[in-house]
């Protein structure tokens, strides 16, 4: 088994091979109130570590469909729609969602559903940025982090922007508007904790080779945040690694959870994710 080595950044070209069977816990979406806001939550699985998934810009629960039910065979998987997304009620009173506000919402939600820390936090794209903010602000609540082609505080301003541009006043526009001011707050705030960190990086964004290499450089800086890190280049995957190479995400979550001390033995005997 690959170990996360202190003070060594290891770059792999493919994800770990780890076998799982698709598992449908049959859970329905439930709704919890945070103040006046109704949040849609889906919880899958009956045992194992709490694995919290945070979706990308303007996206919700369904973004993780290729991996969530697979992991529910050996973990308690928690998914949610941020306000204004999916089945959650609208977001009001803000023109820019700051990362720290997204962290406060998520922390309140996890408390409301009775999910006890520490959590394995998994974030894609902007959701990965929110996960980094969560880990920095609530380090005792985080066992491990998995970042899936994640946004980063080390991005050059204005270089990696949503395409197409989010519609004005849309949820995506509100979330995007909060990114740059949140970068300054993150870099000035608490450090990233020394927890197991797996950084998955797509290799096929459909951009120039120079731009692709710049993205990889940014991701190397992200991986350097923790002395217990593994950076994996996922060959052939686009930005949505969880759709293009779901096994890579599954393997990363299991590896991170194991490195955090979780018993993932239930994950060894099932079949592989369908390619």
Cβ pair 31, 40 in contact under 8 A: yes
Task: Write down the pLDDT at residue 134.
Answer: 98
Q: Which residues pair with 31 in a beta bridge?
A: 40
Q: Would you state the structure tokens that stand for residue 8, as one six-digit string?
A: 């060594």
Can you tell me the distance from the alpha carbon of 264 to that of 254, in angstroms, rounded to the nearest whole number?
7
Task: Write down the pLDDT at residue 162.
Answer: 86
Tens of each residue's pLDDT in the chain, 275 residues: 333 333 333 333 333 333 333 333 345 799 999 888 999 999 999 889 999 999 999 999 999 999 999 999 999 999 999 999 999 999 887 889 999 999 999 999 999 999 999 999 999 999 999 999 999 999 999 999 999 999 999 999 989 988 888 999 899 999 999 999 999 999 998 999 999 999 999 999 999 999 999 999 999 999 999 999 999 999 999 999 999 999 999 999 999 999 999 988 877 433 444 33
Task: Write down the pLDDT at residue 269.
Answer: 32
DSSP assigned state of 144 = E
Task: Write down the pLDDT at residue 140.
Answer: 97
User: Burial of 29 by CB count in 10 Å (0-12 exposed, 13-18 middle, 19+ buried)?
Assistant: middle
Q: Could you tell me the pTM of the whole model?
A: 0.89
Residue in the block written with tokens 């859970």: 27
Superfamily of domain 10-267: Alpha/Beta hydrolase fold, catalytic domain (3.40.50.1820)
Task: Write down the pLDDT at residue 22.
Answer: 32
Task: Write down the pLDDT at residue 94.
Answer: 81
Can you tell me the distance from the alpha carbon of 254 to that of 73, in angstroms, rounded to the nearest whole number?
11
Q: Which residues pair with 232 in a beta bridge?
A: 12, 200
């Amino acid at each position: 088994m690959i170990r996360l080595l202190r003070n060594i950044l290891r770059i792999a070209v493919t994800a770990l091979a780890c076998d799982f069977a698709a598992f449908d816990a049959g859970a329905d979406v439930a709704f919890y109130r945070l103040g006046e806001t109704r949040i849609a939550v889906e919880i899958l699985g009956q045992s194992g570590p709490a694995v919290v998934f945070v979706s990308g810009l303007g996206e919700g629960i369904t973004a993780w469909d290729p991996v969530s039910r697979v992991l529910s065979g050996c973990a308690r998987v928690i998914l949610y729609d941020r306000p204004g997304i999916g089945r959650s009620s609208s977001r009001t009173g803000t023109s820019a969602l700051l990362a720290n506000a997204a962290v406060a919402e998520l922390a309140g939600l996890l408390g409301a559903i009775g999910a006890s820390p520490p959590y394995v936090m998994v974030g894609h794209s902007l959701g990965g940025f929110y996960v980094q903010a969560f880990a920095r602000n609530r380090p005792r609540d985080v066992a491990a982090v998995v970042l899936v082609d994640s946004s980063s505080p080390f991005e050059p301003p204005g270089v990696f922007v949503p395409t197409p541009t989010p519609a004005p006043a849309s949820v995506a526009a509100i979330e995007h508007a909060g990114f740059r001011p949140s970068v300054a707050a993150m870099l000035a705030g608490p450090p990233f904790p020394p927890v197991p960190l797996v950084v998955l990086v797509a290799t096929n964004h459909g951009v120039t080779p120079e731009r692709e290499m710049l993205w990889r450089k940014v991701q190397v800086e992200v991986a350097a945040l923790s002395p217990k890190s593994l950076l994996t280049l996922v060959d052939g995957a686009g930005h949505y690694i969880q759709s293009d190479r779901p096994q890579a995400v599954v393997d990363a979550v299991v590896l991170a959870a194991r490195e955090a001390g979780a018993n993932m033995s239930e994950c060894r005997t099932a079949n592989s994710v369908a390619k």
